[in-house]
Amino acid sequence: MNILPQRVTNFYVSNQLKGSDMSRVVNGLVAGTLMVSTFAQAGNVSGFLAQRDAMYVYNMNVTERVSKEFWGIDCDVFQVLFKMDSGSTSFRHVQSNSGATADTLSARTWFPNPLYSYQSQFAYSLSDTATYKVFGFESATLNGVASTGRGTFFAYCFSTNPNARIFLWDGEACRIKYSNGSSVSSVCM
């Protein structure tokens, strides 16, 4: 029995599971499983909760400062799934109705433990009525040494608002990247 809406299922079959790369197939299956849990988590949402935007970034570097941030705007549930291929990452998250507050690093909550390349995939969801939801990534330290981490990152936006969206702020490249592949210049870190 398929419990996902047909258009969501079609999105994953046509966009996520093509190609022969086994890790992409596994990542797609994990993402599909996360969608099922997302629908179960969003009990506080009234209306039709659908995937409004998604972004996939392969071989993304994370450095010593928060240099990469996924922003979800108007997402009822904003979810990241990632696997570090090398090195490690620590990340912060925030939910706010103020873009200025969401942009302030001191307002963000650290996830308590760094995540290393020898660990399994990791997923985290933010579900709240806040307009802005942000995940910021930076490298963590292993045995007292900070190293550049590299990983595969997926971000998903589920919302009752058809205009909900995701973007990636890349502080090293001084760009904001959108899920449609376009980008604009931005401030550097």
pLDDT greater than 50 at residue 143? yes
pLDDT greater than 70 at residue 1? no
Q: To the nearest 5 percent, what fractions of the chain are helix, strand and coil?
A: 20, 45, 35
Angle value at C-alpha 76, between 70 and 78, nearest 5 degrees: 30
**In the numeric block, which tokens belong to residue 175?**
């760009």
Q: What value does the mean pLDDT of the chain take?
A: 78
Q: Which of 34-38, 99-103, 120-124, 144-148 has the highest mean pLDDT?
A: 120-124
* Residue reference for tokens 């047909």: 6
pLDDT greater than 80 at residue 142? no
pLDDT greater than 90 at residue 151? yes
pLDDT band at 126 (very low <50, low <70, confident <90, very high): very high
Return the higher-pLDDT residue of 112 and 69: 69
The pLDDT assigned to 100 comes to: 81
* Domains of the chain with CATH codes: 6-185 (2.60.120.380)
Q: Model-level pTM? A: 0.74
The pLDDT assigned to 168 comes to: 95
CA 165 to chain centroid: 12
Query: pLDDT for 17-65, tens place per residue?
Result: 344 454 454 455 455 545 545 554 555 677 889 999 999 999 998 887 7
